[in-house]
Amino acid sequence: MTISDTLLRVRMLTVGFPNIHGPNEVVKSLDFDVARGGALGIVGESGSGKSMTSLAVMGLLPKGAKRTGSIEFDGTELTALPERAMRSVRGDRIAMIFQDPLSSLNPYYTVGTQIMEAYRSHRTGVTRRQARNVAIEAMERVHISDAARRVDHYPHQFSGGMRQRVMIAMTLSMEPELIIADEPTTALDVTVQAQILDLLAEIRADTGAGLILITHDLAVVSEVTDHIVVMRDGDLVEQGPAERIFTDPQEPYTRMLLDAVPRIDDEIGLLRTVSTEEGR
Ligand SMILES: Nc1ncnc2c1ncn2[C@@H]1O[C@H](COP(=O)(O)OP(=O)(O)OP(=O)(O)O)[C@@H](O)[C@H]1O
Ligand SMILES: [Mg+2]
Protein backbone atom coordinates (compact mmCIF):
# COMPACT_ATOMS: atom_id res chain seq x y z
CA MET A 1 0.00 0.00 0.00
CA THR A 2 1.43 3.41 -0.89
CA ILE A 3 1.14 6.37 1.45
CA SER A 4 -1.62 7.93 -0.62
CA ASP A 5 -3.92 4.90 -0.29
CA THR A 6 -3.38 4.77 3.44
CA LEU A 7 -5.49 6.98 5.67
CA LEU A 8 -4.26 5.66 9.00
CA ARG A 9 -1.02 3.79 9.54
CA VAL A 10 -0.39 2.40 13.01
CA ARG A 11 2.95 0.82 13.84
CA MET A 12 4.25 -0.77 17.03
CA LEU A 13 1.45 0.80 19.03
CA THR A 14 1.85 -0.07 22.68
CA VAL A 15 -0.34 1.15 25.53
CA GLY A 16 0.59 0.41 29.10
CA PHE A 17 -0.47 1.38 32.59
CA PRO A 18 2.92 1.25 34.31
CA ASN A 19 2.84 0.34 37.97
CA ILE A 20 5.30 -0.99 40.55
CA HIS A 21 5.02 -4.46 39.00
CA GLY A 22 6.05 -3.31 35.53
CA PRO A 23 4.80 -1.74 32.31
CA ASN A 24 1.41 -3.56 32.44
CA GLU A 25 0.83 -3.44 28.69
CA VAL A 26 -2.75 -3.73 27.47
CA VAL A 27 -1.95 -3.09 23.78
CA LYS A 28 1.25 -4.73 22.58
CA SER A 29 3.12 -3.60 19.51
CA LEU A 30 0.09 -3.44 17.23
CA ASP A 31 0.43 -2.81 13.48
CA PHE A 32 -2.52 -2.06 11.23
CA ASP A 33 -3.64 0.22 8.41
CA VAL A 34 -6.92 1.77 7.40
CA ALA A 35 -7.12 2.39 3.68
CA ARG A 36 -8.71 5.58 2.36
CA GLY A 37 -12.41 4.85 2.25
CA GLY A 38 -11.70 1.45 3.79
CA ALA A 39 -13.38 -0.16 6.76
CA LEU A 40 -11.36 -1.96 9.39
CA GLY A 41 -12.94 -4.19 12.00
CA ILE A 42 -11.23 -4.73 15.35
CA VAL A 43 -12.58 -7.78 17.17
CA GLY A 44 -11.72 -9.52 20.38
CA GLU A 45 -13.29 -10.44 23.67
CA SER A 46 -13.76 -8.04 26.55
CA GLY A 47 -10.47 -6.65 27.85
CA SER A 48 -8.49 -7.44 24.70
CA GLY A 49 -7.49 -3.80 24.24
CA LYS A 50 -9.88 -2.68 21.52
CA SER A 51 -11.03 0.51 23.22
CA MET A 52 -7.51 1.39 24.37
CA THR A 53 -6.38 1.08 20.75
CA SER A 54 -9.02 3.51 19.55
CA LEU A 55 -8.47 5.91 22.43
CA ALA A 56 -4.74 5.82 21.68
CA VAL A 57 -5.49 6.91 18.11
CA MET A 58 -7.74 9.71 19.36
CA GLY A 59 -5.20 10.82 21.96
CA LEU A 60 -7.83 10.27 24.65
CA LEU A 61 -6.23 7.60 26.81
CA PRO A 62 -7.09 7.65 30.51
CA LYS A 63 -4.71 9.20 32.98
CA GLY A 64 -1.71 7.04 33.80
CA ALA A 65 -1.61 5.40 30.38
CA LYS A 66 1.63 5.40 28.45
CA ARG A 67 1.54 5.23 24.66
CA THR A 68 4.46 4.42 22.35
CA GLY A 69 4.73 3.71 18.64
CA SER A 70 3.61 5.55 15.55
CA ILE A 71 0.13 6.70 14.50
CA GLU A 72 0.24 8.36 11.12
CA PHE A 73 -3.00 9.93 9.94
CA ASP A 74 -3.05 11.22 6.37
CA GLY A 75 0.72 11.64 6.55
CA THR A 76 0.75 13.44 9.93
CA GLU A 77 2.34 11.78 12.93
CA LEU A 78 -0.37 12.19 15.58
CA THR A 79 1.84 11.15 18.47
CA ALA A 80 4.02 14.21 17.80
CA LEU A 81 1.14 16.71 17.68
CA PRO A 82 0.67 19.13 20.54
CA GLU A 83 -2.67 18.78 22.35
CA ARG A 84 -4.03 21.93 20.72
CA ALA A 85 -3.47 20.60 17.21
CA MET A 86 -4.77 17.19 18.25
CA ARG A 87 -7.97 18.81 19.45
CA SER A 88 -8.67 20.11 15.98
CA VAL A 89 -8.02 16.67 14.48
CA ARG A 90 -10.51 15.14 16.91
CA GLY A 91 -14.05 15.67 15.87
CA ASP A 92 -13.10 17.60 12.79
CA ARG A 93 -11.12 14.90 10.95
CA ILE A 94 -11.46 11.84 13.16
CA ALA A 95 -14.75 11.31 14.98
CA MET A 96 -15.76 8.70 17.46
CA ILE A 97 -19.11 7.01 18.12
CA PHE A 98 -19.44 5.30 21.47
CA GLN A 99 -21.49 2.38 22.70
CA ASP A 100 -23.85 4.32 24.88
CA PRO A 101 -25.20 7.42 23.14
CA LEU A 102 -26.87 8.59 26.34
CA SER A 103 -23.54 9.08 28.05
CA SER A 104 -22.37 11.23 25.13
CA LEU A 105 -25.54 13.31 24.88
CA ASN A 106 -26.45 15.99 27.39
CA PRO A 107 -29.98 15.36 28.73
CA TYR A 108 -30.63 19.08 29.29
CA TYR A 109 -30.19 20.24 25.70
CA THR A 110 -32.16 19.38 22.59
CA VAL A 111 -30.41 17.11 20.14
CA GLY A 112 -30.46 19.93 17.61
CA THR A 113 -28.61 22.26 19.96
CA GLN A 114 -26.00 19.59 20.56
CA ILE A 115 -25.44 18.84 16.88
CA MET A 116 -25.29 22.59 16.19
CA GLU A 117 -22.79 23.21 18.98
CA ALA A 118 -20.59 20.36 17.83
CA TYR A 119 -20.69 21.68 14.29
CA ARG A 120 -20.05 25.31 15.24
CA SER A 121 -17.17 24.44 17.53
CA HIS A 122 -15.34 23.13 14.48
CA ARG A 123 -16.36 25.75 11.95
CA THR A 124 -15.82 29.46 12.17
CA GLY A 125 -18.33 32.06 11.03
CA VAL A 126 -21.35 29.76 10.99
CA THR A 127 -24.66 31.36 11.89
CA ARG A 128 -27.20 29.61 14.11
CA ARG A 129 -29.55 29.28 11.20
CA GLN A 130 -26.91 27.63 9.02
CA ALA A 131 -25.95 25.27 11.86
CA ARG A 132 -29.59 24.39 12.41
CA ASN A 133 -29.98 23.51 8.75
CA VAL A 134 -26.85 21.35 8.95
CA ALA A 135 -28.34 19.59 12.00
CA ILE A 136 -31.64 18.93 10.23
CA GLU A 137 -29.86 17.68 7.11
CA ALA A 138 -27.63 15.39 9.17
CA MET A 139 -30.68 13.98 10.96
CA GLU A 140 -32.38 13.37 7.63
CA ARG A 141 -29.28 11.59 6.38
CA VAL A 142 -29.46 9.12 9.26
CA HIS A 143 -33.14 8.57 8.42
CA ILE A 144 -34.75 10.28 11.37
CA SER A 145 -38.14 11.15 9.96
CA ASP A 146 -39.67 14.55 10.59
CA ALA A 147 -36.20 15.91 11.34
CA ALA A 148 -37.29 19.56 11.19
CA ARG A 149 -39.48 18.91 14.24
CA ARG A 150 -37.38 16.26 15.97
CA VAL A 151 -34.38 18.60 16.00
CA ASP A 152 -36.02 20.39 18.94
CA HIS A 153 -36.53 17.25 20.99
CA TYR A 154 -34.47 16.13 23.99
CA PRO A 155 -32.43 12.90 24.07
CA HIS A 156 -34.95 11.13 26.34
CA GLN A 157 -37.61 11.58 23.66
CA PHE A 158 -35.69 9.22 21.39
CA SER A 159 -35.38 5.42 21.55
CA GLY A 160 -31.93 3.84 21.98
CA GLY A 161 -31.56 3.20 18.27
CA MET A 162 -32.69 6.73 17.41
CA ARG A 163 -30.24 8.20 19.92
CA GLN A 164 -27.45 6.29 18.22
CA ARG A 165 -28.66 7.79 14.94
CA VAL A 166 -28.48 11.23 16.54
CA MET A 167 -24.87 10.53 17.57
CA ILE A 168 -24.05 9.42 14.05
CA ALA A 169 -25.75 12.58 12.71
CA MET A 170 -23.56 14.66 15.02
CA THR A 171 -20.50 12.84 13.71
CA LEU A 172 -21.60 13.31 10.11
CA SER A 173 -22.16 17.03 10.48
CA MET A 174 -18.39 17.34 11.07
CA GLU A 175 -17.60 15.55 7.80
CA PRO A 176 -14.80 13.47 9.32
CA GLU A 177 -12.33 11.56 7.17
CA LEU A 178 -12.23 8.71 9.67
CA ILE A 179 -15.04 7.46 11.91
CA ILE A 180 -14.19 5.22 14.86
CA ALA A 181 -17.23 3.37 16.17
CA ASP A 182 -16.59 1.53 19.45
CA GLU A 183 -19.30 -1.10 19.95
CA PRO A 184 -21.93 1.23 18.44
CA THR A 185 -24.67 -1.39 18.46
CA THR A 186 -23.99 -3.42 21.60
CA ALA A 187 -26.65 -1.68 23.68
CA LEU A 188 -29.30 -2.13 20.99
CA ASP A 189 -31.61 -5.01 20.14
CA VAL A 190 -30.76 -7.17 17.16
CA THR A 191 -33.08 -5.57 14.59
CA VAL A 192 -31.96 -2.06 15.49
CA GLN A 193 -28.32 -3.24 15.44
CA ALA A 194 -28.75 -4.32 11.84
CA GLN A 195 -30.27 -0.96 10.89
CA ILE A 196 -27.41 0.98 12.45
CA LEU A 197 -24.85 -1.22 10.67
CA ASP A 198 -26.64 -0.63 7.37
CA LEU A 199 -26.54 3.06 8.10
CA LEU A 200 -22.78 2.99 8.80
CA ALA A 201 -22.20 1.10 5.55
CA GLU A 202 -24.34 3.60 3.66
CA ILE A 203 -22.51 6.57 5.15
CA ARG A 204 -19.19 5.06 4.24
CA ALA A 205 -20.31 4.60 0.66
CA ASP A 206 -21.76 8.13 0.47
CA THR A 207 -18.99 10.11 2.15
CA GLY A 208 -15.92 8.01 1.39
CA ALA A 209 -14.91 8.29 5.06
CA GLY A 210 -12.73 5.55 6.50
CA LEU A 211 -14.25 3.47 9.28
CA ILE A 212 -12.90 1.56 12.25
CA LEU A 213 -15.61 -0.63 13.72
CA ILE A 214 -14.88 -2.17 17.09
CA THR A 215 -16.92 -5.07 18.42
CA HIS A 216 -16.64 -8.45 20.08
CA ASP A 217 -19.01 -9.85 17.46
CA LEU A 218 -17.20 -11.19 14.42
CA ALA A 219 -20.44 -11.49 12.44
CA VAL A 220 -21.05 -7.77 12.87
CA VAL A 221 -17.64 -6.73 11.54
CA SER A 222 -17.62 -9.18 8.69
CA GLU A 223 -20.77 -7.58 7.30
CA VAL A 224 -19.56 -4.01 7.33
CA THR A 225 -15.77 -4.09 7.08
CA ASP A 226 -13.31 -5.20 4.44
CA HIS A 227 -10.35 -5.95 6.69
CA ILE A 228 -10.29 -7.43 10.18
CA VAL A 229 -7.82 -7.31 13.06
CA VAL A 230 -8.34 -9.94 15.76
CA MET A 231 -7.01 -9.01 19.21
CA ARG A 232 -6.50 -10.92 22.40
CA ASP A 233 -4.90 -9.64 25.61
CA GLY A 234 -3.43 -6.69 23.75
CA ASP A 235 -1.84 -8.87 21.07
CA LEU A 236 -2.72 -9.07 17.42
CA VAL A 237 -3.85 -12.67 16.86
CA GLU A 238 -4.36 -12.41 13.12
CA GLN A 239 -5.45 -9.95 10.49
CA GLY A 240 -6.63 -10.18 6.92
CA PRO A 241 -9.48 -9.55 4.49
CA ALA A 242 -12.85 -9.80 6.28
CA GLU A 243 -14.07 -12.48 3.93
CA ARG A 244 -11.02 -14.67 4.59
CA ILE A 245 -11.08 -14.20 8.37
CA PHE A 246 -14.77 -15.11 8.42
CA THR A 247 -14.61 -18.12 6.11
CA ASP A 248 -11.11 -19.41 6.78
CA PRO A 249 -9.75 -18.31 10.16
CA GLN A 250 -6.16 -19.40 10.71
CA GLU A 251 -6.00 -19.13 14.48
CA PRO A 252 -7.90 -21.22 17.03
CA TYR A 253 -8.84 -18.03 18.90
CA THR A 254 -10.51 -16.57 15.80
CA ARG A 255 -12.33 -19.85 15.28
CA MET A 256 -13.53 -19.65 18.87
CA LEU A 257 -14.86 -16.12 18.28
CA LEU A 258 -16.64 -17.39 15.17
CA ASP A 259 -18.18 -20.24 17.10
CA ALA A 260 -19.58 -17.70 19.53
CA VAL A 261 -21.57 -16.16 16.69
CA PRO A 262 -25.19 -17.37 16.45
CA ARG A 263 -25.60 -19.08 13.09
CA ILE A 264 -27.79 -21.53 11.24
CA ASP A 265 -26.29 -24.97 11.60
CA ASP A 266 -25.85 -26.48 8.12
CA GLU A 267 -26.93 -29.98 8.94
CA ILE A 268 -29.76 -29.70 11.37
CA GLY A 269 -30.83 -26.19 10.55
CA LEU A 270 -31.15 -25.23 14.18
CA LEU A 271 -30.36 -21.82 15.51
CA ARG A 272 -27.40 -22.40 17.72
CA THR A 273 -26.53 -19.67 20.15
CA VAL A 274 -23.30 -20.63 21.79
CA SER A 275 -22.48 -17.16 22.96
CA THR A 276 -23.92 -15.53 26.00
CA GLU A 277 -26.45 -12.85 25.24
CA GLU A 278 -24.58 -10.37 27.41
CA GLY A 279 -24.59 -6.79 26.33
CA ARG A 280 -27.72 -7.02 24.20
N1 LIG B 1 -7.30 3.18 33.69
C2 LIG B 1 -6.83 1.92 33.57
N3 LIG B 1 -5.83 1.47 34.35
C4 LIG B 1 -5.34 0.23 34.22
N5 LIG B 1 -5.81 -0.67 33.32
C6 LIG B 1 -6.81 -0.29 32.51
C7 LIG B 1 -7.37 1.02 32.60
N8 LIG B 1 -8.35 1.10 31.67
C9 LIG B 1 -8.41 -0.09 31.06
N10 LIG B 1 -7.47 -0.93 31.56
C11 LIG B 1 -7.23 -2.31 31.13
O12 LIG B 1 -6.89 -2.34 29.76
C13 LIG B 1 -7.29 -3.57 29.18
C14 LIG B 1 -7.92 -3.33 27.85
O15 LIG B 1 -9.12 -2.61 28.02
P16 LIG B 1 -10.06 -2.18 26.83
O17 LIG B 1 -11.07 -1.27 27.42
O18 LIG B 1 -9.24 -1.66 25.69
O19 LIG B 1 -10.72 -3.56 26.41
P20 LIG B 1 -11.82 -3.80 25.29
O21 LIG B 1 -11.23 -4.79 24.33
O22 LIG B 1 -12.30 -2.53 24.74
O23 LIG B 1 -12.96 -4.55 26.12
P24 LIG B 1 -14.58 -4.41 26.03
O25 LIG B 1 -14.99 -5.34 24.92
O26 LIG B 1 -15.03 -4.88 27.35
O27 LIG B 1 -14.92 -2.99 25.77
C28 LIG B 1 -8.23 -4.23 30.18
O29 LIG B 1 -7.56 -5.31 30.76
C30 LIG B 1 -8.49 -3.14 31.20
O31 LIG B 1 -8.65 -3.70 32.47
MG1 LIG C 1 -14.12 -1.51 24.82
Compute and round to an integer the Cα radius of gyration of the chain: 19
| Average of per-residue pLDDT across 189-202 | 86
75 CA distance to ligand 2 middle (Å): 27
Q: How high is the pLDDT of residue 4?
A: 66
Task: Tell me the percentage of the chain whose pLDDT exceeds 70.
Answer: 91
Inform me whether the pLDDT recorded for 192 exceeds 60.
Answer: yes
119 CA distance to ligand 2 middle (Å): 26
Residue nearest to atom 30 of ligand 1 (CA): 47
Residue nearest to atom 29 of ligand 1 (CA): 47
pLDDT band at residue 262, thresholds of 50, 70 and 90?
low
53 CA distance to ligand 1 middle (Å): 10
Residue 13 and residue 11: Cα distance in Å, rounded?
Answer: 5
Q: How high is the pLDDT of residue 155?
A: 94
Inform me whether the pLDDT recorded for 277 exceeds 50.
Answer: no
**What count of residues does the chain have?**
280
Model pLDDT for residues 220-256, shown as the tens digit of each residue: 888 889 999 999 999 999 999 999 999 999 999 999 9
Residue 63 and residue 67: Cα distance in Å, rounded?
Answer: 11
Model pLDDT for residues 206-224, shown as the tens digit of each residue: 899 999 999 988 888 888 8
* 141 C-beta closer than 6 A to ligand 1: no
pLDDT band at residue 263, thresholds of 50, 70 and 90?
low
Specify the ligand 1 atom closest to the Cα of 15. 12
Inform me whether the pLDDT recorded for 275 exceeds 80.
Answer: no
Q: Which fold does the domain 1-93+176-253 belong to in CATH? A: Rossmann fold (3.40.50)
Residue 124 and residue 84: Cα distance in Å, rounded?
Answer: 16
Domain residues of the chain, as ranges? 1-93+176-253, 104-174
Q: At what angle do helices 160-173 and 190-207 cross, to 10 degrees?
A: 10
Global pTM value: 0.88
Q: How high is the pLDDT of residue 111?
A: 96
* 216 C-beta closer than 6 A to ligand 1: yes
Q: Which residues pair with 228 in a beta bridge?
A: 41, 240
* 131 C-beta closer than 6 A to ligand 1: no
Ligand with smallest separation from the Cα of 18: 1
Largest CA-CA distance found in the chain, in angstroms, rounded = 63
Specify the ligand 1 atom closest to the Cα of 214. 22
Model pLDDT for residues 119-149, shown as the tens digit of each residue: 998 888 999 999 999 999 999 989 999 999 9
pLDDT band at residue 264, thresholds of 50, 70 and 90?
very low
